[in-house]
Amino acid sequence: MSYRARLRTRTGCLQCRQRRKKCDETRPRCTGCTRNALDCEWPSGDNQAPDGRCRREVASSGLSLIQLSPPVVMPAPFQSCGNAYLYRYFASTILPRLVRQSSLDQTHMLRLAPQFSPLFGAMVAVAGMQLPCTARWPTRFALQGYLHTIHSLQASLTDITKAGCDDRVLATVILLSVFESCRSDAASTVAPHVTAAGLLLTQRRPQEFRPKAAATFDRICVESFLYHASLMMIFDPSLDALTGIRDELGLPLYFDQLSSPTTQPREAILQASYKFFLLIADVTKLSRLSRPLDSAEVLKWRNLDSELSRWIGLTCPDDISLKPCYLAIQILLQKTNPDITSLERTQRMRSFLEEALRRVPLSKIDSHPPEYLLWPVAILGAVAIRFEERKVLQDFIASIVARKLGGQGAWVQKRLDRIWKTASPESVSAELNLVGLQVLLDGGDP
């Protein structure tokens, strides 16, 4: 009897636990599962109770355990409690708002992760950088996951044609872009990952025979690429991922129900259709120029101005975050306007700035990825001269940083601080806003 009592253990296989049977813990298949012809599964770091040290770390961080069902077998080298918690946080909190607020079937990406450690590492990396707590261990786990992913993914990218058809590789590269856009430990180097995601997507097309979850995965990846390829151009001046591949992406095939400027779905990111984000990329690229436009560029500017005019009604009653984006594009476009004087340019920029500042504090911080909110804020801050204008933006950025919603908040504030030193509120000049905007676009020091 003493021997049988000793078999009562919490480290037996999952099948014996579920059947409430004693397990002799013989591996890889225990005697009970062998006798009953059952699949013998053993608990991993994700489907067993965390050990005491992990519980203490989680408790000291003010975090509670996140339960997922069914349990997931975690790949090596991520079989630890900390990685399990970050994976749960990614699955329950980050993935549902990765691209849009609406409920989408995101199970396909989660099914891919246990069989591909680089993807699992990317999920851990993203979660560790965005987990809203003051403890250091999430960042440590995030960097470990990131380094594993970078090292392990290289072999999968040797054949771009083959890699483009591999959902696991595409999902990993997409999440590396997300990681770089929210990392708080170093300057963002998002351009290589976004560029790689674009090249992978050129090897793909929507396929009718794909299951619904897989088709939704394709759409999420395309939307995430467009989001980063356009908005992150402000934060990384080397980024120009759409040039040369736009036609090869086959974007209309993914967006079969395009939204018009007057009928916008209530989505977190692509509420204005993919064409609005292509416009952001084109305007940003043109606004990088610090010289007068040549004849071809003037024609390009007029086409962009005409296209932007069709989006003037970008106002949604429930979510006004899109309006500051529209006004920020207007500011970028006026920077290179070939048909107005310097005084007219300054007046127009100020008008757009004042209107945007009334809307920025009302943005729903917890409903959107931080870069989506920080993109217009960075542009507005670069042209803001008055103390009260800068204070509005500074407070908004601080509210994002306080929630640890991404390292870009601290980056934007640091960058604006350097720009603002060149243009103090006491020395207002009509050209100072253009100087600050050019510094932001160049990515260099004032």
- pLDDT 10s digit of each residue in the chain, 446 long? 343 333 344 567 777 877 778 888 777 678 888 777 677 776 654 344 344 455 555 555 555 555 555 556 778 888 888 888 899 889 888 887 776 655 466 788 888 888 899 999 999 999 998 887 777 888 889 999 999 999 998 877 777 777 778 899 999 999 999 898 877 666 668 899 999 999 999 988 887 778 888 888 888 899 889 989 999 998 888 899 999 999 999 888 888 644 444 443 444 456 667 888 999 999 999 999 999 999 999 999 999 999 998 887 665 545 567 888 899 999 999 999 999 988 899 889 999 999 999 989 888 777 677 778 889 999 999 999 889 999 999 999 998 887 765 567 888 888 899 888 876 655 555 565 788 888 888 875 54
No. of H helices and E strands in the chain? 21, 0
How far is 46 from 41, CA to CA, in rounded Å? Answer: 13
Comparing CA positions, the residue from 336, 297, 327 lying closest to residue 438 is 336
> b vs e for 137-148, b when ≥16 Cβ sit within 10 Å of the residue's Cβ?
bbbebbbbbbeb
**How many other CB atoms sit within 10 Å of the CB of residue 423?**
22
Q: What is the pLDDT, as a whole number, of residue 260?
A: 43
Distance of CA 323 to the CA centre of its chain: 20
Query: Can you give the pTM of this predicted structure?
Result: 0.79
Q: What is the pLDDT, as a whole number, of residue 187?
A: 66
Cα 373 to Cα 56, 97, 259, distances in angstroms: 34, 14, 21
Comparing CA positions, the residue from 313, 328, 413, 324 lying closest to residue 361 is 324
